[in-house]
Amino acid sequence: MTVTDPLELLDIAGLLSDEERQIQETVARFVADRVRPHVADWFEAGTFPRELALELGKLGVLGMHLDGYGCAGTSAVAYGLACLELEAGDSGLRSFVSVQGSLAMFSIWKYGSEQQKLEWLPRMAAGEAIGCFGLTEPDFGSDPANMRTRAVRDGDDWILTGTKMWITNGSIADIATVWAQTEDGVRGFLVPKGTPGFTTRTIKQKLSLRASITGELILDEVRLPDSARLPGARSLGAPLSCLNEARFGIIFGATGAGRDCLRTALDYANTRVQFDRPIAAFQLTQEKLANMAVDLNTAALLAVHLGRLKDAGTLKPHQVSVGKLNNVRKALAIARECRTILGASGVTLEYSPLRHANNLESVLTYEGTSEIHTLVIGQALTGHPAYR
Ligand code: TGC
Ligand code: FAD
């Protein structure tokens, strides 16, 4: 007996409900029809086609795990499975959906006023308005507590000054959630595109996540009314709580990238003949395939387990770190190993593993680097925070 899909090895699908499987299949069909035929070209050109936002809105994946305001209110596991299929297409596509739904929309959904929710969430769920989330700065990435961006009161208004760096969707966004230091601690602000003093720049020459737009946000004395402040966000804990949402999607997403690499390598190994035999028949190739299948299936099991904890409302931030650290690390190792199975063919965009590996280098770094997640787990185990 041979399995037709690497995740069939442990019957991961058997852990899912009919509804979850249906959502997964719907997203997989979208990726097969709308993404796979074009993604290598997008990656090469360094573009993310804006019209995809509307299509992703119609598909129902933007903010799909949120309730109300045009959002579907699915389970966390269903959201994770959507991320898995999107990232099997490309990490850039999953990034778009993560930032839109789990960072930009979630920050408004969780911390915004009713007026802010009504104004932005339905349009963002439909993909008519694109959001971004500005936490990282040129000099403060892992350590956002020390951010320099300042918001100062001026009568009833706020004046924001600072720079945010490496912001996914930054230069194509209609609305930016920007985090700034105030004299009372960190606060969040909604900055619409076109606000005087607010400009963006697209970051070029990336070797990773090329099918995703990454930008810089420049705030030069941007005047905002107090109604632009997210009233529920009262400390650094607010942006960090948004990160839990996006990190959760990555736990599933990375598994999708790994699955796509392994499928590609399996197909290739069964058809590529050297020394008069398919290379899949050599023990060294089988060792690679078996090790990767074990790692991929255990990553998927971990993702589903953490998804069930999230649906039960008991998922802890350090558990998210376990999932993000393990699954991204494993997916990156799988992508690199699959590339070796493809030989020289593996270095072109005709096959996905090296594109996934390059993307996963960013995924390893953003949403908390592997070192930061290691320290989060270390703190959970020992009680000692070792960041500073
Ligand atoms: P620390 O003193 O530990 O915490 C400050 C307050 O925040 C609370 N907190 C959290 N709350 C919810 N969820 C979490 N994960 C939380 N982590 C901490 C904490 O309890 C505390 O609350 P309170 O009430 O006591 O004030 O903060 P610290 O300055 O020591 O830093 C801790 C550390 C290093 C873990 C944190 O700064 C961190 O996670 N750094 C990594 C930064 C990061 O991940 N940036 C990501 C930017 S967004 C992005 O990359 C998007 S890419 C998206 C894409 O394209 O897909
Ligand atoms: P640094 O924090 O300078 O870290 C450099 C190295 O030092 C890393 O290896 C790190 O692990 C290590 N290090 C740092 N502190 C410690 C420590 N205490 N102990 C041990 N090692 C340590 N940010 C946003 O806000 N919004 C976005 O939408 C967004 N999108 C992104 C998209 C892409 C493609 C990329 C690449 C990044 C994006 N980021 C975004 C930024 C991302 O979150 C940061 O890059 C990340 O948090 C790391 O920050 P840094 O790059 O400044 O690295």
- Nearest-CA residue for ligand 2 atom 42 is 366
pTM of structure:
0.98
Where residue 226 falls (left for φ over 0; alpha for ψ -120 to 50; beta otherwise) is alpha
Q: Are residues 377 and 243 in the same domain?
A: yes
User: Between the CA of residue 264 and those of 338, 346, 348, what are the distances in Å?
Assistant: 8, 10, 13
Residue in 136, 204, 213, 359 to alter for ligand 2 test, most ligand atoms within 8 A of Cβ: 136
Q: Is residue 82 part of a domain?
A: yes
- Nearest-CA residue for ligand 2 atom 11 is 371
Looking at the CA of residue 321, tell me the nearest atom of ligand 1.
15
Residue 213, SS3?
Answer: coil
User: Which sequence positions are flagged as catalytic?
Assistant: 367
Domain limit, last residue, from 196, 228, 260: 228
Domain limit, last residue, from 211, 228, 245: 228
Domain that holds residue 321: 237-382
Looking at the CA of residue 317, tell me the nearest atom of ligand 1.
15
Q: Do residues 217 and 200 touch, judged by C-beta distance below 8 A?
A: yes
The CATH number for 138's domain is 2.40.110.10
88: Cβ contacts below 8 Å, ≥ 6 apart: 28, 31, 256, 257, 259, 260
Q: Are residues 374 and 255 in the same domain?
A: yes
Structure tokens at 245: 């949402």
Structure tokens at 311: 């649906």
Q: Which residue's entry shows tokens 């960190």? A: 186
The CATH number for 283's domain is 1.20.140.10
- Nearest-CA residue for ligand 2 atom 43 is 366
**What domain count does the chain have?**
3
Q: Is residue 25 part of a domain?
A: yes
Q: Are residues 180 and 264 in the same domain?
A: no
Q: Is residue 388 part of a domain?
A: no
Domain limit, last residue, from 70, 95, 125: 125
Q: Is residue 387 part of a domain?
A: no
Q: Is residue 219 part of a domain?
A: yes
Residue in 130, 137, 142, 206 to alter for ligand 2 test, most ligand atoms within 8 A of Cβ: 142
Q: Is residue 343 part of a domain?
A: yes
Residue-wise pLDDT tens for the chain (388 aa)?
A: 688 788 889 999 999 999 999 999 999 999 999 999 999 999 999 999 999 999 999 999 999 999 999 999 999 999 999 999 999 999 999 999 999 999 999 999 999 999 999 999 999 999 999 999 999 999 999 999 999 999 999 999 999 999 999 999 999 999 999 999 999 999 999 999 999 999 999 999 999 999 999 999 999 999 999 999 999 999 999 999 999 999 999 999 999 999 999 999 999 999 999 999 999 999 999 999 999 999 999 999 999 999 999 999 999 999 999 999 999 999 999 999 999 999 999 999 999 999 999 999 999 999 999 999 999 999 999 999 999 9
CA count, 13 A, side-chain hemisphere, 269: 23
Q: Is residue 374 part of a domain?
A: yes
Q: Are residues 89 and 178 in the same domain?
A: no
Q: Are residues 378 and 241 in the same domain?
A: yes
Residue in 95, 240, 315, 318 to alter for ligand 1 test, most ligand atoms within 8 A of Cβ: 240
Q: Are residues 363 and 243 in the same domain?
A: yes
Say which DSSP state 182 is in: E
Distance from CA of residue 240 to its chain's centroid? 15
**Distance (Å) from CA 172 to ligand 1 centroid:** 25
**Distance (Å) from CA 240 to ligand 1 centroid:** 4
**Distance (Å) from CA 7 to ligand 2 centroid:** 31
**Cβ atoms < 10 Å from Cβ of 332:** 23
Residue 113, SS3?
Answer: coil
The CATH number for 22's domain is 1.10.540.10
